[in-house]
Copies of this chain bind each other. A is one copy, B any other.
Amino acid sequence: MKKFEEKTIKSERIYNGKIVQLQVDEVKLPDGKTSKREIIKHPGAVAVIALTPERKIVFVEQYRKPLEKSIIEIPAGKLDPGENPLAAALRELEEETGYTANSLSFVTSFYSSPGFADELLHIYITDDLRKVENPKSGDEDEFVEIIELTLDEAKQYVEEERIHDAKTAYAVLYLHALEGR
């Protein structure tokens, strides 16, 4: 859909980082006026709702520098260039948790923050986990701790804001809705 399309008059690349790029576009608005749009380019990401045979949910706790605190999230990571999201989900699951899955089902995808970023997140679910003997390790600068919680414990962590990000809030609500059936 192109309703209210904003045509690009000029695009300036401000920063090329390891994770994000920042560009500022000058756009022509539907009423003919012009404005500026600050745009974060991101390669996209994947996340996995992983359930153990005991129906515990697998989370990772990690320090998030933008927040200056650690929070508890479902396993996730960004796509490598050209990487298939399902393959990325399987890779991140193993790197972050030491689990692999015999099957992974697509749940949904959404843009994290479409007002200023193009990051698209793909969420998968599995209850078919298997411990890997010598799991691949993840990024050298990533330190995570695995935490397995029941759904009730996870809901408590949402209340306490130890779980406090979009994908994990969605995951907990998704499992809550599933259970309600």
Residues of A within 8 A of B (CB): 1-6, 14-15, 17-20, 22, 24-25, 27, 29-31, 33, 35-42, 45, 61-67, 69-71, 73, 76, 78, 108-119, 121, 140-141, 143-145, 158, 161-162, 164-170, 173-174, 176-177, 180-181
Instruction: Kindly provide the distance from the CB of A163 to the nearest chain B CB, expressed in whole angstroms.
Output: 9
Subset of 17 A-B contacts with CB under 8 Å: A1-B71, A1-B162, A3-B145, A4-B62, A4-B143, A5-B63, A6-B63, A14-B22, A15-B15, A20-B40, A39-B65, A39-B66, A76-B115, A109-B161, A110-B169, A113-B166, A180-B180
- Residues from chain B with a CB closer than 8 A to the CB of A61 are 1, 3-4
Residue from B19, B76, B116, B168 in contact with A66 in the complex, judged by beta carbons closer than 8 Å: B116
CA distance A173 to B15 in the complex (A): 36
- Residues from chain B with a CB closer than 8 A to the CB of A22 are 14-15, 20, 22
CA distance A70 to B20 in the complex (A): 22
Residue from B4, B38, B112 in contact with A17 in the complex, judged by beta carbons closer than 8 Å: B38
Instruction: Kindly provide the distance from the CB of A92 to the nearest chain B CB, expressed in whole angstroms.
Output: 12
- Residues from chain B with a CB closer than 8 A to the CB of A66 are 37, 39-41, 111, 114-118
- Residues from chain B with a CB closer than 8 A to the CB of A166 are 110-113, 121, 166-167, 170
Residue from B37, B62, B67, B108 in contact with A65 in the complex, judged by beta carbons closer than 8 Å: B37
